[in-house]
Amino acid sequence: MFKYSIDYGYVLEAVTDGCFHTFVNFYGPGRVGFILQLAIHFTMINCDPHCDDNLKIVGYRRNWFKTFTIWIATAFSGFTLTLLFYWRRDYWIALTHTKVKASQAENASLGIDISHVYVQCLTTNRIHLYKFSEEKRASETSPLCSVKYHKWVKFFFYRNLKYIWCNDKGTFLPMKGLDRQNTLETLHTKPLAKDRVDYLLALYGSNQINIPLTPIFVKLFRENERQLRDKVKMAETVLVLRDFEKRPRKIPSTNLVPGDVVCIPPYGCELVADMLLISGSCAVNEASLNGESVLQAKSSIAELPTPTTDEDRKIDIRRLSRHVLFSGTRVLQARESPDGHLVKAVVLRTGFLTVKGDLVRAILHPKPLDIDFNLDSFRFLAIMAVIAISGFIYTWVILHQYRFGVGKMIRKSLDIITIVVPPALPSVMTTGLYLAQMRLKKQGIFCINPSAINVAGTLNTVVFDKTGTLTEEHMSVSGVWKSGLSCDPPQLCKMEQVSNIPGPLSAVLAACHSLTFDLTTCKIFGDPLDRVIFISTNWSLQESSLEEAASRFTSPIQAVIYNAKIESTSPWQQLGVLRRFPFSPTAQRQSVVVETVGSEGEIVVLSKGAPEAIVRHCDFQTVPKDFENKLSYFARRGHRVLALAWKPICRTTNSESGESGGVWMKIYQFQKREDFECDLRFLGLVVLNNPLKPESEPTISELLNANFRVIMATGDNLLTGVSVARQCGIIKATDVVVQVTPSNNIVRTASSSPSSSSPSSSLLTFEVLTTSDDSEKFENSVWIGKILEKLAQSVSQCIGSTVVFTVDSGEDSAGISESLRLVMTGTTWNFIRMHAPHFLSTVVSYGTVFARFLPDDKTSLIVALQTKGGREGGALRRVGMCGDGANDCGALKAAYIGVALSDCEASIAAPFTARQQNILCVANILKEGRCSLSTAIGSFKYMVLYSFTQFFTVLLLYNIGNTLTDPEYLIIDLFIVAPLCVTYAVSRPWEKLEASTIPLRLMTPSNLASVFLQLFLAVATQIVIFIGVQHQPWWSAFEPTEHSLDSAGSYETTSLFYFSCFQYIFMCVALAKGPPFRDRVYRNRIFLLNVIILVNFTLGLLIFPTKPLSEWAKLLPLYGPNDVGFRKNAFSIAIIAMAFLHFMMAIAFEALIDRKSDDYSRHSMANCSLTSLCRDLRVRPHF
């Protein structure tokens, strides 16, 4: 909030999410200067509940004794501690500082969770203060009652957000824009003076989104950062009113500050900050943020009714989204207000505080989704570290027995640690993730959070929006049903028959919309539904100026809509738009106030929207008695149905004096929307055909065959949603569809729960929905009756008692559980949440179609599915959401994985955006997720096996005082293991989704069994080779010396080197599994070619060793000097035979583990299905 009302000076209130920091300055030489830099580091403490990062702060003061001690320890460690402190700066702070209160700290420590620790710099700014000549008390022009003097402003940056120290709360709080702790009434809309701008620039920083580039040698990351930097580039200049000037001037966009008044040019521009429109209107393309390709009509806050409550007075960006221009979007057209004022907007947020800044921060600092996977990785690494330390001690003891030097013992002992904990492990595990992201990108699917790909592989439930997701976004008008027609079945009038007849019905079809006419392209932009209806009327839209409209209308208008086919003498031939009330998902309707022309002209309200919402605001005498039947008839056939209504307000000519004009301006211009949208007169229904997208049905079928739970959440009519669900296969022909509604006999008051006077009274009513054929009968009608009875009894009001239901013997309980489909509206959903929360688990377990759902309802549904949805196949329900990037934003964010169908590459709504504009992308993401997760787990297991296999090889060789030579390490690590890891991850996903699931965990019984069995096999076969070579007649014992440990070869070293090379290759092949998650191994051609090359390479080294290579790698011949023919290669053939035996046993072990794991999963799913039904029918009511 910004209010300035002090003579000769200015007071700036910097809003930091609930806390006001007041800084004062006078006209004078005083300026902001950087005084001090302090270290700040992150650990786990809560900072601010409003902050998504949920930071906490701990203060530290440097302890010079501790610091000096650590310096000495670092020097004695050979500066190896420097590497530790480089990666873990929190250790450095803890060991060199003393913990104190944050307010007394020279240094500070902050953090978000246990696995993420950060260190930043804390900066302190000094504000120069001067005396005031006068200070005014709080008034309408200044809400300040007193001034707080702060000489120092401490702050730091975390994830590109600025955090400021708050003395009142004793903590750091994130900087916020003008929308926090501000009201529409106190919002400052006048140009800022220069000194105010200086302070705002010092406080908020420049209006830019900086993307730092990594060094040029890190080519991949630099390329991604450069692409992101190019996308966030903003316009260089902007028109701003400054220093109380009447004419705007151009300034660099980086100099914008919150509170600036920006002028929007008529031809449009790119927006560089989040702004609140204070005059005029704009047509904005927001596809770059939310993926919504439809142009959004933005109107000024002058059209808002006078706020009456505290909530109305607050600047709520979500509530006022129709009046906010967001950074990163583009204004295509700007229109002046009817009073001729320029199109102006006041800046609310700049830089990383904007919505675009949030999107960039989400890309730069993605939220970790695979936390369990990462924790398992750390646990496994911790186990490996313990084993490495044991190997370290063992190596030290063995080498000490051979009397090696201390330096040699230290180096070789440290080698053990690098062998057991391979440095390449993180890069190997992310290779499959990167390749999956690249494959998705080629399909037009973009991901801003790569970890979401692995999480997508664990989903078992998917929620879909309907319109634009399952069905086509572009509809066709089937016709209009006029009120009063009593035909059975109802007959539709063609649009041509209605649109050319002057009257309110044709007027509401042609004028009730928020379409915009683009003067540059001469095209109409706006909501596709509005465009379809408007174009079918054959009316015309004209954006008029004041001069053009003055001769035809008595009031300032925004646009003219006319029909040349209607006689010019009719007052309905031309309509002047006076005021628009855009469609609101909450209100589920839109309205427009228009003026008709001529001496008989009048001002009327035209409304269009959901039938239930329109009828509630209609005079019930104008609503036909068979309205519900007509609506049900069209909805059951899958049509999109909208209701039409109107209401005359007044004549444009004063009946008493005969004077015209002024009625709208004097009386009705600033009335509330509710005053216009009451006592409407019902006109009829417009029926639209909303066909399924061709990809919807096969994709839904694939998901259902893979045992996915598929749910529809839509804002459309319930019967329409059920019809579409039947068409696409979400509801099968054999399913029992039960509609849940609140009982009509429930008496509710504002302060009481439903009446509980009768123990047998029911909270909810259950009704079986059949298809349009009323003669259809269900073969399992007996079971339907029983399940309906149990559902009704489960919500009966048994105060103070528990109702327990069991499944009778002989009942097909699993069949009932699988075939039951609950459907309901948003009203019923909220009723159950409020008055029957015990029934919520049953609803989310069997609910299939949720209609008339507002955006908040969809969000609550996703949360309930994830928290109260029980378990699927023994695993927690993991929910994905697919919808557009606008109305479904909350649900997309609440789900584990959100997929926004969008034309842009990044969306604020979800980690995935798909340009395919159909749900086929969901199946592709799930396949890639399963493939990526399977690859990551396989890569991890392989790296663990490779590390421990080499670890055991080295320990065996240390027993004879020898080890692998550097060339042998190089051959294994660089020429065998590295190519295998990369080509292993190239495998594509399996062509279809299978019923098998994969957990987002590493330490599962199947993974642990696989690792231990493979490790046991590798160790056992190495021991056989190690002992076998010692029994050969040409073998001679190795005599260790100080210089021969790793520079001289032995028969044992050569044998284990050859054999372990085969082991590394064959273990990777054994772990390279195909379906149900990855494609078949032989289709991964580069991996197959790599294996063939490496096998032949190893065979060549073993059977046909070359002298230069043998001398370089210190490889000894595995035969005697007199051996020829078969005897010369006898032991080499034995190594090959043992290697292939190891290969066959490794494949057998993996097949056995997979089979046992599948049997266990099927058994768990069967038990879970029966258990869930019994659990859902055992209800404990709580009121």
Asked if 307 contacts 289 with a C-beta cutoff of 8 angstroms, the reply is no
pLDDT value at position 729? 92
Residue-level length of the chain: 1183
For the chain, give the percent of residues with pLDDT over 70: 75
Least trusted range by pLDDT, from 131-145, 933-947, 1005-1019, 1041-1055? 131-145
pLDDT value at position 702? 95
Structure-derived torsion over alpha carbons of residues 959, 962, 966, 972, reported in degrees to the nearest 10: -50
pLDDT value at position 545? 54
pLDDT at 36 over 50: no
Which of 529-532's residues contact partners 24+ apart within 8 Å by CB, and which partners? 529/475, 529/640, 529/688, 532/474, 532/475, 532/476, 532/477, 532/688
Query: What is the rounded average pLDDT of the residues 474-495?
Result: 85
Asked if 1071 contacts 938 with a C-beta cutoff of 8 angstroms, the reply is yes
Separation of alpha carbons 956 and 1057, rounded Å: 12
Based on its alpha-carbon atoms, the radius of gyration of the chain, rounded to whole angstroms, reads 36
Q: Is the dihedral of CA 90, 94, 97, 98 positive or negative?
A: positive
CB-CB neighbours of 1039 under 10 Å: 11
With a CB cutoff of 8 Å and minimum separation 6, the contacts of 693 are 470, 471, 472, 918, 919
**653 strand-pairing partners:** 660
pLDDT value at position 795? 53
pLDDT value at position 90? 74
Fill in the DSSP letter of residue 222.
Answer: H
Separation of alpha carbons 528 and 534, rounded Å: 10
pLDDT, one tens digit per residue, over 768-796 is 887 644 444 444 455 556 666 666 655 55
Of residues 1170 and 1063, which shows the higher confidence score?
A: 1063
CA distances from 168 to 58, 722, 912, 993, 1039 (A): 17, 55, 41, 56, 75
Most confident segment among 2-11, 228-237, 275-284? 275-284
Looking from the CA of 99 toward its CB, the CA atoms found within 13 Å total: 10
pLDDT at 320 over 80: yes
Q: What is the H or E stretch that residue 455 is in? A: helix 451-456
pLDDT value at position 954? 93
Of residues 680 and 358, which shows the higher confidence score?
A: 680
pLDDT, one tens digit per residue, over 875-926 is 578 999 998 766 688 888 889 899 988 766 666 668 898 888 899 999 999 9
pLDDT value at position 790? 61
Domains in the chain, start-ordered, CATH in brackets? 9-176 (no CATH), 229-364 (2.70.150.10), 478-687 (3.40.1110), 934-1167 (no CATH)
pLDDT at 667 over 60: yes
**pLDDT band at 383; cut points 50, 70, 90:** confident
pLDDT at 1067 over 70: yes
Separation of alpha carbons 469 and 451, rounded Å: 25
Asked if 564 contacts 574 with a C-beta cutoff of 8 angstroms, the reply is no
pLDDT at 800 over 50: no
pLDDT value at position 1033? 92
Query: What is the rounded average pLDDT of the residues 556-579?
Result: 86
pLDDT value at position 381? 81
Q: In 255-271, which positions are buried (b, 16+ CB within 10 angstroms) versus exposed (e)?
A: bbbbbbbbbbeeebbbb
**pLDDT band at 50; cut points 50, 70, 90:** very low
In this prediction the pTM is 0.77
pLDDT value at position 417? 84
Query: What is the rounded average pLDDT of the residues 525-532?
Result: 84
- Helix, strand or coil, per DSSP, at residue 803: strand
**pLDDT band at 752; cut points 50, 70, 90:** very low
pLDDT at 761 over 70: no
Looking up tokens 């959401």, which residue turns up? 881
With a CB cutoff of 8 Å and minimum separation 6, the contacts of 89 are 41, 117, 119
Least trusted range by pLDDT, from 757-771, 990-1004, 1105-1119? 757-771
pLDDT value at position 63? 86
**pLDDT band at 428; cut points 50, 70, 90:** confident
pLDDT, one tens digit per residue, over 93-141 is 888 888 777 666 555 444 433 344 454 445 445 443 333 333 333 333 3
Query: What is the rounded average pLDDT of the residues 332-336?
Result: 82
Query: What is the rounded average pLDDT of the residues 1137-1152?
Result: 95
Query: What is the rounded average pLDDT of the residues 448-474?
Result: 89
**pLDDT band at 292; cut points 50, 70, 90:** low
pLDDT value at position 222? 57
pLDDT value at position 4? 28
pLDDT value at position 270? 87
Of residues 633 and 32, which shows the higher confidence score?
A: 633
pLDDT at 655 over 70: no
pLDDT at 640 over 80: yes
pLDDT, one tens digit per residue, over 715-742 is 888 989 999 999 999 999 888 888 888 8
Q: What is the mean pLDDT of the chain?
A: 78
